Structure 1
Amino acid sequence: MLTESLRDQAFAIAWLSAMAAGWFGWSQEDPKPRLRGLLGAGSVLGLLLGIAFGILVWRNWDTPTALEGRYWVFGLVVLAEAVLIGGGCIVLARRKQTRWYGWWIAMCVALHFVPLAWVFGDWSYLVLTAVQVVGLILMVPTLRRGDYQTSRWACSWIAATFLLYSLVSAAIFLTKHGYPF
């Protein structure tokens, strides 16, 4: 995240790296066996980065945030995302295409960063969205040919992009602020 708010940037790093850990975990639903170690390592790295920056969020909670007076907008974005995910999963379940849950949810999560770019005034979220969406679209032909869970590649892609985004953001943060206690 590229924002002036120390708290918002630290929170984004903590949250997205923790989410990377979760997405790496979900990608182990039906992985290629040789990738399990790499997926597990990604989860551990995401958790460690999440803890390191979570501590910074806790210690700097009283600093300014772009959400001040606009928490309701953030809540609406998350609510819309949840409704879209749930509705899509109901459609997929009725069509007996539940193996596509991972891909669908990944696409919804990627797209929810478009309004968040405006909410936080951080246009780097649009770059993250573009990378995630392009990757998800490009994998569709391969996923259609397979009979495995789409989480194998879709969730791995989201996890890897979250972790990379968090690592780049952490490097920018540490260059700008150090590790403020």
Structure 2
Amino acid sequence: MLTDFLRDQAFAVAWLALMASAWFGWAQEDPKPRLRGLLGAGSVLGIMLSLGFGMLVWRNWQTPTALDGRYWVFGMIVVAEAILIAVGCIVLARRGQSRWFGWWIGLCVALHFIPLAWVFGDWSYLALTAVQVAVLMTMFPSLRRGEYATSRWACPWVAITFLLFALVSGVILVSRYGYPL
């Protein structure tokens, strides 16, 4: 994340690392057995990174944020994302295609970073979106041919990109501010 707001950057690192942990967890729904250890390690790393930067958020909560006066915009984006996810999952479930939940939710989550780039004035979110969507679309044909849950490949991809984005953002934050208390 490339922002002038310490709190926003620390929150993004903590939140995306936590979400990486969750996506690594979901990836264990139907993984290749040899990948279980790596998926578990990714979850642990995400939690550790989230705790470290979560402390920064807590200690710097009173600092400025790009959301000042615009929390409602952020809330509307999240609500719109949740509605899109829910409607898509209902359609998939009714069609007997619940194995696509992982891919569909991953796509919706990736796309919600487009308006967030504007809200936070951080265009690095567009790069995250582009990378996530490009690979999710690339894996679509092979997922169509499979019989397994799409979480096998879509969820690790989302998790890895979140974790890498959080790590890079964390390095940028620490190099800019140190580990501010």
Shorter-chain TM-score category? Answer: over 0.9
CA RMSD of the aligned region, Å? 0.4
Shift of 1:50: 0.1
**Partner letter of residue 40 of structure 1?**
G
Give me the whole-angstrom Cα distance separating, in 1, the residues matched to 2:38 and 2:132.
20
Give me the whole-angstrom Cα distance separating, in 2, the residues matched to 1:93 and 1:62.
43
Identity %: 72
1:69 is the counterpart of 2:72: no
Shift of 1:28: 0.3
Give me the whole-angstrom Cα distance separating, in 2, the residues matched to 1:94 and 1:149.
16
Shift of 1:10: 0.1
Alignment of 1:96-175 (within 5 A): 96-175=96-175
Shift of 1:44: 0.4
Give me the whole-angstrom Cα distance separating, in 2, the residues matched to 1:149 and 1:36.
15
Q: Give the aligned partner of residue 13 of structure 1.
A: 13
Shift of 1:145: 1.2
Shift of 1:133: 0.1
Alignment of 1:52-63 (within 5 A): 52-63=52-63
Give me the whole-angstrom Cα distance separating, in 1, the residues matched to 2:49 and 2:5.
19
Q: Judge which range, 140-149 or 158-167, deviates more.
A: 140-149
Give me the whole-angstrom Cα distance separating, in 1, the residues matched to 2:171 and 2:58.
19
Deviation beyond 4 Å, 4+ runs, structure 1: none
SS in structure 1 opposite 2:159?
helix
Kindly tell me the number of residue pairs found equivalent between the two proteins: 181
Q: Give the aligned partner of residue 89 of structure 2.
A: 89
SS in structure 2 opposite 1:136?
helix
